Copies of this chain bind each other. A is one copy, B any other.
Amino acid sequence: MEQGFVLAIHGGAGVMPRADMTPERAEACHAALARVLRAGEDVLAAGGVALDAVTAAVTALEDEPLFNAGRGAVFTRGGTQEMDAAIMDGRDRRAGAVAGIAGVRNPVHLARAVMDHTSHVMMIGEGALAVARDANLTFEDDAYFFTQERWDSLRETLRMQAEGTLDDDPSRRHGTVGAVARDRAGNLAAATSTGGMTAKRAGRVGDSPLIGAGTFADSATCAVSATGDGEAFIRLSVAHEIDARIRLAGTPMEQAARQVVMSGLAAIGGSGGLIAVAADGSLALPFNCEGMYRGWSIEGESAQTAIY
């Protein structure tokens, strides 16, 4: 039996503090989120599968310099950009992931190439880039990925670190993008992509590309994409934990997602949020910090976007 499609996206829990958000910037963020939703909706409305919808939505998020993934990724303390991405197909739990890559226009395409064209799930660094070349993915130069805002943020962060005045602004720590979808046939999928943390050590990998931590999908239970303090999300296997609570404890998805974000993460000081869609089409977009760039679309209803 066909059901309506459902799509949710996030542009990270790293929103700027409400006091610093100008009306112009908020409007630009809402408009960008709406464009991203349309990219995913177009796939689903044409009868496409959830896997292709989350690929399209995360591609649009990566192409958008406002969000920390692909173009507009943050800089490491060494001034480089290192990107991670993952994708998972809830139909069969096939998955692909990459970490520590640079130069590929859309890291989510490389995660998908690892899934589609190799026998592996996760590849890193130069070996991952060889897969990108084999799959004829588009590469871009440093200028494409550069944004003055992210560069200024790196310099400001390094200055504050040197002075010992670094505060806890999540906009430096929580930048990630992601999408989850249920298509009309009831298949679920999830994808996540990130530039990581501003001024992170080169080589640091967060939860985004780790299947079961920041990204997970099983059509029997849920699809999840997370954003936040990656280390806390890894220690709790956040995305797989939500699947496990639905499957093993019979907890409704929305409740499971809220438990993990509001209680589980909070208990170890982890800040952030996630988006999730359940097999029954219900949505959850919980976060335990000031905000999360997000949007959702339920077939037959008008799409919504929100920041705080």
Contacts and interface: CB of A to CB of B under 8 A. Distances in A.
Given A235-B211, A237-B237, A202 B245 contact: no
A245 B126 CA distance: 37
Interface in A202-239: 202-206, 210-213, 216, 230-231, 234-237
Contact of A118 (B201, B216, B245): B201
Interface residues of A, number: 44
A68 B93 CA distance: 28
Contacts of A93: 235-236, 268
A26 interface: no
A125 B131 CA distance: 17
A127 interface: yes
Interface of A: 92-95, 99-100, 118-128, 130-131, 200-206, 210-213, 216, 230-231, 234-237, 240-241, 244-245, 248-249, 268
20 contacts: A94-B235, A95-B235, A99-B205, A118-B204, A120-B200, A120-B204, A123-B204, A124-B205, A127-B204, A128-B203, A130-B201, A210-B210, A212-B212, A212-B213, A212-B237, A212-B240, A216-B237, A237-B237, A240-B241, A240-B244
